[in-house]
Structure 1
Amino acid sequence: MEGGCLQMSIQVIRAGIMDSLQDKGRFGFQQLGINPSGAMDLYSMEIANLLTGNAPDETVIEMHFPAPVLLFRSTALIALSGADFTAILNDEPIPLHQPVWVKKDDVLAFRSPRKGARLYMSVAGGFAIDQWLGSGSTNLVAAAGGFKGRTFAAADEIPFRKKWNDIQESKRVLPWKAGLDWGNESDKFSILLGKEWDWLTDSSKEQFFNQSYQLSTQSDRMGYRLEHPLLELKYQEELISSAVNRGTLQLLPNGKIILLMADHQTTGGYPRLGHVVSAHQHLLAQYRPGDSIYFRQVNQETAEQWIIRQQQHLLQLQNACTFRLQQYFHENNHQL
């Protein structure tokens, strides 16, 4: 990498916990045992991208708390979406869900986690990284993709593509904001029943929808281990390893559930009790160990209507952001 390109970068002054580059994920290779990875909260990832004029599936930085301290080597247009970690730029607060100008030598840090578990940062133009198997997502198991196949470390230089020439802005925060359509206003997550649902005893079926499930401290990007009163099967039957996906609820031999997330394995040999609908999966990404959730049953038609509604909302947001950015850059004689 040439020195000029390196200057268009973000330097990690202090690494956080599990900071990595992620996009929508890597698909088409699960038969080879390569899991999809990708952002845990795809909805927030897309919102951050749209606010800076990127394609919705452009690679972003996924952060947890404690979050990193980042030094910008050159001017950039960024947006933050997802969790609220009390972002500060040069010790001044900046908002979520709005485009923000960051200038050369600015320092971005995060004070405290107010709400949520994962925060996403996009940079206009995207990050200058090589894709692996068609994706910029970091696969930690394979040590490939993203930035050198790993999470960030102090002194890393994360390059980005877009160069801005001598932009002088009086306002850091651009005057429009994304309206969020979360699609779920409670701790109840809708599921489609899984293939092995009927393996549960009748009492466990009733219990399933009437009890809470607490995220254990063993929860991570691979899956959430849930704490709850034990569920029982009618009989113990050997299950041939079968395909699993993000959102699959597997019943472990100890009677407890694991909810598979972005870094899930490609196959599993445990009974699949259900699948969290796609439209609610991004919300799960914002839950932390100790938080409790509930499940409710929904039919396929309703689940499809929800995901269509969500995609319509994102398309409307994309059109609005494109218009506002083009108008802004035209009025200020900049080129996007």
Structure 2
Amino acid sequence: MSLTIIKPGLSDTIQDTGRFGQAHLGINAGGAMDPYAAGVANMLAGNNQCEAVLEIHFPGPQILFEQNALISITGGDFTPMLNDEPLPLWRPVVVRKNTVLHFNKLQDGARCYLAIHGGFCVKPWLGSYSTNLKAGAGGHQGRRLEKGDELTFRENTVYFAGLLKEGRELQVLNWRVNIRRVYEDPHEICFTPGNEFKELCPNSQEALLENNFIIHPYSDRMGYRLKGAVLKRKEENEMVSSGVNFGTMQLLPDGQLIILMADHQTTGGYPRIGHVITAHLPKLAQLRPGDNIQFRCVDQQTAEDLLYSQQQELVILQRACHDHLNELVC
């Protein structure tokens, strides 16, 4: 059971929830940029949240399915098509073998996720399937997918073939996910103050909260560079390098900000102005160069409450997807 990359996209890699516990070795967690979309794709495809998925950027790849499969695509809308039929997002879909998935047009978002029932058959590296491009490890041979690459998946999904109607290349199953709460107000990004927030001049603290910041073209999975108001510290003293995380907001020497993303370094010596709350990392990951960000400062309790609510919804969704799939195959 496999699929083949007929034509590679801009940057397609295998990702999962990340490679934790290796920062002392200088190896970052990595993982999906939008962990919410990746996790939900897995649930809809009947997997656990930690299974490997394909993270896709636009222009997307062309993929040939060599076998009937249950899949799901979530995240950014790149107008996915299966042969000539539109393929809906955030829905479980049964696809027929020998059909081709391609992506027609970028509608919104920055990356999407393809999950397949049973998961991709790749070897873990240091406890994770995620691709680490700098180390050349994890994922599929430690690199982006190329033309001719064949990805096998673990479980025979031939029993889903009975769900395919005669003459149809795909069959959309009859449940979906409501994602409105996770991605609403996409440009408002909440953060908690970092260790050096109080070192900002009062005027700079106000500027951070009152101005829009634009994502710079030189932004990637390692970090989003921002263009906006120049921020200044009360005193320009040197700092000792310390640990940083996905979402850490650092102040660069030129007074501009950078938000560290999934492939961030493990330590940094720039002032840590704040940390994007975990619940807002999904919508941050779906912003593109040229998009604007409006920051809002919240306390730790608010950040924890928002994350708890999001995680509880995922628990409910996991159970619902499991029950629906069991009803279909029993």
TM bin (shorter chain): over 0.9
CA contact (8 A) 1:89 1:109 kept: yes
CA contact (8 A) 1:239 1:271 kept: yes
For residues 278-326 of structure 1, the C-alpha deviation after alignment (integer angstroms, 9 at most, x for no partner) is 0001111100000001111101111111101001100111111111100
Q: CA deviation at 1:179?
A: 1.7
CA contact (8 A) 2:52 2:130 kept: yes
* Corresponding position of 2:261: 261
* 1:15 counterpart = 2:8: yes
Q: CA deviation at 1:181?
A: 4.8
Q: CA deviation at 1:220?
A: 0.3
CA contact (8 A) 1:79 1:99 kept: yes
Which of 73, 90, 99 matches 1:97? 90
* Corresponding position of 2:304: 304
Stretch of structure 1 that moved more, 183-192 or 224-233? 183-192
Q: How has the CA–CA distance of structure 1 residues 184 and 173 changed in structure 2, closer, same or farther, with 3 Å as cutoff?
A: closer
For residues 55-109 of structure 1, the C-alpha deviation after alignment (integer angstroms, 9 at most, x for no partner) is 0111100001000000011111100100111010011101001111112111000
Write the letter of the residue equivalent to 1:299: D
Match of 1:289, SS? coil
* 1:82 counterpart = 2:75: yes
Write the letter of the residue equivalent to 1:218: Y
CA contact (8 A) 2:2 2:66 kept: yes
* Corresponding position of 1:237: 237
Match of 2:4, SS? strand
For residues 11-46 of structure 1, the C-alpha deviation after alignment (integer angstroms, 9 at most, x for no partner) is 101100110000000000001100111000000011
Percent identity, aligned pairs only, is 48
* Corresponding position of 1:193: 193
Q: Using the alignment, how far apart are the partners of 2:177 and 2:126 within structure 1?
A: 31
Q: Using the alignment, how far apart are the partners of 1:78 and 1:296 within structure 2?
A: 36
Structure 2 runs not aligned, ≥5 long: none
Q: CA deviation at 1:183?
A: 3.5
Match of 2:172, SS? coil
* Corresponding position of 1:286: 286
* Corresponding position of 2:106: 113
CA contact (8 A) 2:278 2:307 kept: yes
Q: How has the CA–CA distance of structure 1 residues 239 and 46 changed in structure 2, closer, same or farther, with 3 Å as cutoff?
A: same
Match of 2:198, SS? helix
Q: How has the CA–CA distance of structure 1 residues 305 and 268 changed in structure 2, closer, same or farther, with 3 Å as cutoff?
A: same
* 1:40 counterpart = 2:53: no
Q: CA deviation at 1:184?
A: 5.3
For residues 223-256 of structure 1, the C-alpha deviation after alignment (integer angstroms, 9 at most, x for no partner) is 0000112111111111011000000000000110
Q: Using the alignment, how far apart are the partners of 2:209 and 2:304 within structure 1?
A: 21
Q: Using the alignment, how far apart are the partners of 1:13 and 1:22 within structure 2?
A: 20
Q: CA deviation at 1:191?
A: 0.6
Match of 2:171, SS? coil
Write the letter of the residue equivalent to 2:152: P
CA contact (8 A) 1:182 1:283 kept: no
* 1:174 counterpart = 2:179: no
For residues 123-166 of structure 1, the C-alpha deviation after alignment (integer angstroms, 9 at most, x for no partner) is 00001110000000000110100000000111111111111336
CA contact (8 A) 1:194 1:275 kept: yes
Q: Using the alignment, how far apart are the partners of 2:77 and 2:247 within structure 1?
A: 24
CA contact (8 A) 1:64 1:118 kept: yes
* Corresponding position of 2:215: 215
Write the letter of the residue equivalent to 2:198: D
Q: CA deviation at 1:185?
A: 2.6
Match of 1:190, SS? strand
Q: Using the alignment, how far apart are the partners of 1:208 and 1:165 within structure 2?
A: 54
Structure 1 runs not aligned, ≥5 long: 1-7, 331-336
TM-score (norm 2): 0.96
* Corresponding position of 1:163: 156
Match of 2:70, SS? strand
CA contact (8 A) 1:76 1:162 kept: no
Runs of 4+ residues deviating >6 angstroms: none
CA contact (8 A) 2:15 2:31 kept: yes
